Amino acid sequence: MSEQLRPVLLGLTILGAAGAALAWRVRGWPVYAALRRARPAEAVWDQPGRRLGSLVLQAVAHLRLLREPWAGAAHLLLFLGFVAVVPETVRQALVLASPRLAVLPAWGGLADVGVLSGTAGALLGIAHRALWRPARLSGSNAADAYGIMGFIILILAGVALQQSFAPHPNPAAFLGRALGRLWVAWGWSRPGTAQAGYALGYLLDVGASLAFLAYLPSSKHLHIFAAWPNVFFRRLGSAGRLAPRDPPAAGPAVHSVADLTWKDLLDLLSCAACGRCQAACPAYAAGLPLSPAALMRTLRGELLRPSPPPGGAGADLAGTAVSAPALWSCSACGACREACPVFVEHLPKVVGLRAALLEEGRLDPGLAKALVSLDRQGNSRGRSATQRSQWTSGLDFPVPDARNKAVEVLWFVGDWASYDPRVIPSTRRLAQLLHRSDIRFGLLHDAEVDPGNEALRVGEHGLFASLADRNLTALGQARYRRVCTTDPHCLNALRNEYRSLGFTTPVLHHSQLLLELVRTGVLRLSPLGLRATYHDPCYLGRWNDVFAPPRQLLARMGVDLVEMPHHGRASRCCGAGGGRIWLADPPPGGDPAKLRLQEALSLPGVTHLVVACPQDLIMFQAAAAGTPLQVVELADLVYRAAGLDPAD
C-alpha cells in the first residue's frame, strides 16, 4: 500500500471511530445511565450453567427463532456472517494502524464464508420482508430494517472487495482470490487501480461498520448487543410468579420508564420489533386494540426519547402513550412471552401500567365492583362468604372443613367454581367423583377467599397481598397433605405466587389428581367414544407446564383427541384472564373466545370442546351457544366415563 494512502485511510478510520464514539456518547450514554438509575431487578446470577446453556441454545443456535423456518434461517445466516466478518474487519483496521499487527491471525476463508452467508441472509431477509410480507411485521419500522440490510450488504461487499485487491491476499480467502482473478481478466491489475479498489473496499467495510455502529444506539438493531445479556439474565424458575419477591417501596405502578427495573429496560433494548408477540397475541388476533409489539415499541420510544414527553415529565404513560383500552385488552395469557426469541417479559409492563391506571382511580365499573367485593367479601362475585359452600347442599354427603378434620386433599375451590351457577354442576360432579374414590378431601369453606391471581394482574397488588394473607392464615389452620383445584388461576397463585410467601405444599390440578386415581385403579373409566378437542388453559399449560395429564385422561376415556391449530404452548386464550372477565365494558373489538371457538369448529367430526378451567367453561359455553359444539369440563367427562351419570 502506498504511503500516501495509508494516512488518509487511517485518518478517515479515526474520524469514523470518533463519530461512532460521539454517537454512543450522545445516544447511548443516556440509555446506560437509565439502566444504572433503574430499579433493581430480581436475582439474575442464579443457575449460571443453565443460563449459559440457554444463551448457547437461544442466542447462538436460534432455537426459538427457528420456529419460523425461513425468517429464522435468514437471521441465522446473517448472524453467522456477522460473527465471521467482524473479526476480519477489526483486523484490517488494526493492521492499517500498525503494520506490525499483521501477525494477528488472519480469518482467511472463514471471512469469505461469512460474506456469502451474510449476503444470503440479507437477501433472504429482504425477500421475506418485501415478498412474503408477514403480518407480524405490520407496524415495524421498514426504513430501519431495509437501512440495516443495506449497511450489511455494503460491509460484506467491502470485505470481499478489499480482499480481492489486497497486495498479499490470504491464500484461504477464496472469494477474494476469485474476484482478484476476475479483476486481472478485466485488466484492472495496474497498481493504481488495485490501490483504489483496496481503499474503496476498506472504506466500505470499516466505514460502513463504523456508521452502523454509530446508528445502533437509536435503532432496534441495538438488540445485537442487548439480547445477549437479556437471554442470559432471563426469568428462570416458575414462570407463573408475577409478584416481585421484594416489591418496590413506591409500589409497582409504572408511571414512566423511570419506574421500570433495569431488566425491564434491557427487555426494551433487546426487542428487535420482530412482531412474533403480536402474531401470537389472542387480543390482537381478535381485533382488540392491543399489540404487545407496539407496546414494546412505545415504551422503547419513551426510553430513547431525548426530551421530556409532551405534557411534561410527570405525565403518566398509562392512558396517554399507552391507551387504557390497550391495557384492558390483555388477558395475561403469556402467549407473547412464549413467542419472544429474546425472552422479553411483556406482562410485568402491562401490569405496572395498569397499576398506574388504578392509582388514578379511573377504571371499568365492573372491575371496580369486583375489586371492592374481593376486599369486602373475599370473592369477586359480590356474594357473602357464608354462601361460598352453598354448592355442597346439592350433595348427599357432607364435605368436611379441613380446619376441623385432617384430610388427604384440601380442595381449593375458587370463586367461579363455588359461586357461578354455570360452573357449580361440574364442581358437584367432581365432589362426587372424589367421594366415590374414597379420597379424604375437605374445604376451607367460608375461610377460603379468592387467591388474588387476577387482582395482582389487574395491578391491585395490595389487594393481592391482603387476600394471600387471609388464605395463608386459613391454610395454616387446616390439616392436609396436598392441595387440589379445578381453577388454573387458583393453581397458579397457590403454586407460584404463594411459594415466595412460604407456602410449599404441592398443588395439583384436578386433571392430575383424577389421572392419578385412574392410574392406581381407584377410578375405572369406560370408553366414551367421543371425538373431541382440548383447550389448554393458559394458567395450566403455558404458565405451569401441565399439558399431558388432561390429554392422558382423555385417552383413558377413549376420547379421540383432535388438536386445534393452536395448542399446547401455543394455545390461544379465551380472553377472560387477567381480570378481563370482570370488565363491564370491555374495550371494543373482537371476542377472543369466538375466535378460539372457530378453531374448534373447523375440526372435522369434533363434537366436544373439553375445557379444564371454570373461566373457559363460562366463556366458551357463551360463545358456543347456537353452534353444534358442546363445551364440557374435563371432570364432567370423567364423571360420565366412571358411570356416575344417571342419564347414561
Partner 1 sequence: MPGEVWILVESLRGQVLPTTSELLTAGRRLADAAGARLVAVHLGPGADALAPGLDGADALLAVDHPALAILNPDLWVRVLEALLAERRPRFLLMGNLGYELTADLAARLDVPCLSSCQELVLEHDTLVGTCRVYGGKLLAEVTSAAPMVLAQLLPGAFAPLPAGPAPAVEKIACPVSLEDPGTTFLGLDMPPAAEVDITAAPVLISVGRGIGAAENLTLAEDLAAALGGTLAASRPVAELGWLPKARQVGKTGQTVRPRLYLAAGISGAPEHLEGMQGAQLIIAINTDPQAPIFQVAHYGVVGDCLEILPALTAALRAAEDA
Partner 2 sequence: MRILVLLQAVPDLTGDLQVAPDGLSLAERGGGRVLNEFDEWALEEALQLQAAGEGEVHVLVPQANGARDILAAAWAKGARRVFLLPGSWDGVGNWGLARAVAWVVQDLPSELILTGMQSPKDADAGLGMLLAGFLRRPHVNGVRRVSLAEETAVVEKELAQGMVARFAVRLPAVLGLIGARTAPRYLPLHRLRQAAQTVPVEELPAVTPSGPLPCTLRRLLAPPPARPTTFLRGDPSQVADQLLAVLREQHVGRWAQDAR
Hey, which residues between 218 and 257 contact partner 2 (CB under 8 A)? 251
**b (16+ CB within 10 A) / e for 317-343:** bbbebbebbbbbbbbbbbbbbbbbbbb
Tell me which of 383, 482, 499, 531 binds partner 2, using CB under 8 A: 383
For residue 358, state whether it binds partner 2 (rule: CB under 8 A). yes
For residue 420, state whether it binds partner 1 (rule: CB under 8 A). yes
Farthest-apart Cα atoms in the chain, separation: 102
Which of partner 1, partner 2, none interacts with 463 (beta carbon under 5 to 8 A by kind)?
A: partner 2
For residue 471, state whether it binds partner 2 (rule: CB under 8 A). no
For residue 143, state whether it binds partner 1 (rule: CB under 8 A). no
For residue 644, state whether it binds partner 2 (rule: CB under 8 A). no
Please identify which residue in the block is written with the cell numbers 377413549: 558
Sheet (strand 630-633) strand order: 560-561, 531-534, 608-611, 630-633
Which of partner 1, partner 2, none interacts with 376 (beta carbon under 5 to 8 A by kind)?
A: partner 2
Grid coordinates in use for 267? Answer: 427487555
For residue 384, state whether it binds partner 2 (rule: CB under 8 A). yes
**b (16+ CB within 10 A) / e for 373-398:** bbeebbbbbebeeeebbebbeeeeee
* Residue 184 CA to its chain's centroid (Å): 54
For residue 422, state whether it binds partner 1 (rule: CB under 8 A). yes
Please identify which residue in the block is written with the cell numbers 426530551: 307
Residues 415-434 as x/- pattern, contact with partner 2 by CB under 8 A: ------x---x---------
Mark the segment that binds partner 2 (CB under 8 A) among 40-48, 187-195, 381-389, 605-613.
381-389
For residue 589, state whether it binds partner 1 (rule: CB under 8 A). no
Please identify which residue in the block is written with the cell numbers 377460603: 448
Which of partner 2, partner 1, none interacts with 386 (beta carbon under 5 to 8 A by kind)?
A: partner 2
DSSP class of 389: T
Residue 463 CB, nearest approach to partner 2 (Å):
5
User: Residue 369 or 482: which CB sits closer to partner 1?
Assistant: 369
For residue 519, state whether it binds partner 2 (rule: CB under 8 A). no
Tell me which of 53, 99, 365, 506 binds partner 1, using CB under 8 A: 365
Tell me which of 359, 516, 563, 591 binds partner 2, using CB under 8 A: 359
For residue 628, state whether it binds partner 1 (rule: CB under 8 A). no
Q: Which three-class secondary structure state does DSSP give residue 318? A: strand
Which of partner 2, partner 1, none interacts with 385 (beta carbon under 5 to 8 A by kind)?
A: partner 2
Output the DSSP codes for 141-210.
Answer: -HHHHHHHHHHHHHHHHHHHHHHHH-SS--TT-HHHHHHHHHHHHTT--SHHHHHHHHHHHHIIIIIHHH
Residue 235 CB, nearest approach to partner 2 (Å):
24
User: Residue 545 or 585: which CB sits closer to partner 1?
Assistant: 585
575: phi > 0 → left, psi -120 to 50 → alpha, else beta; which?
left
Tell me which of 105, 167, 192, 421 binds partner 1, using CB under 8 A: 421
Which of partner 1, partner 2, none interacts with 473 (beta carbon under 5 to 8 A by kind)?
A: none
CA angle 238–243–245, rounded 5-degree value: 85
Separation between Cα atoms, residue 154 and residue 623, nearest integer Å: 54
DSSP class of 324: H
Separation between Cα atoms, residue 409 and residue 450, nearest integer Å: 19
Residue 299 CB, nearest approach to partner 2 (Å):
22
For residue 462, state whether it binds partner 2 (rule: CB under 8 A). yes
For residue 586, state whether it binds partner 1 (rule: CB under 8 A). yes
**Whether 313 contacts 557, CB under 8 Å:** no
Tell me which of 25, 37, 50, 362 binds partner 2, using CB under 8 A: 362
Please identify which residue in the block is written with the cell numbers 370491555: 586
User: Residue 517 or 583: which CB sits closer to partner 1?
Assistant: 583
Residue 137 CB, nearest approach to partner 2 (Å):
38
**Whether 326 contacts 315, CB under 8 Å:** no
For residue 40, state whether it binds partner 2 (rule: CB under 8 A). no
Counted residue by residue, the chain has a size of 648
For residue 348, state whether it binds partner 1 (rule: CB under 8 A). no
Output the DSSP codes for 410-432.
Answer: EE---HHHHH-TTTHHHHHHHHH
User: Residue 121 or 586: which CB sits closer to partner 1?
Assistant: 586
Separation between Cα atoms, residue 526 and residue 556, nearest integer Å: 8
Hey, which residues between 375 and 394 contact partner 1 (CB under 8 A)? 383
* Residue 273 CA to its chain's centroid (Å): 13
Please identify which residue in the block is written with the cell numbers 460502513: 208
Phi, psi of 625 (to 5 degrees): -55, 130
Grid coordinates in use for 517? Answer: 386415581
Q: What share of the chain is helix, strand, coil (3-state, %, to 5)?
A: 60, 5, 35
Residue 637 CB, nearest approach to partner 2 (Å):
19
Mark the segment that binds partner 1 (CB under 8 A) among 36-44, 327-335, 475-483, 578-586.
578-586
For residue 583, state whether it binds partner 1 (rule: CB under 8 A). yes
Instruction: Tell me the site size for partner 2, rule CB under 8 A.
Output: 31
Instruction: Tell me the site size for partner 1, rule CB under 8 A.
Output: 13
Residue 352 CB, nearest approach to partner 2 (Å):
13
Where does this chain bind partner 1 (CB under 8 A)?
A: 365-366, 369, 383, 419-422, 583-586, 625
Where does this chain bind partner 2 (CB under 8 A)?
A: 251, 355, 358-363, 365, 368, 371-373, 375-377, 382-387, 421, 425, 459-463, 465-466
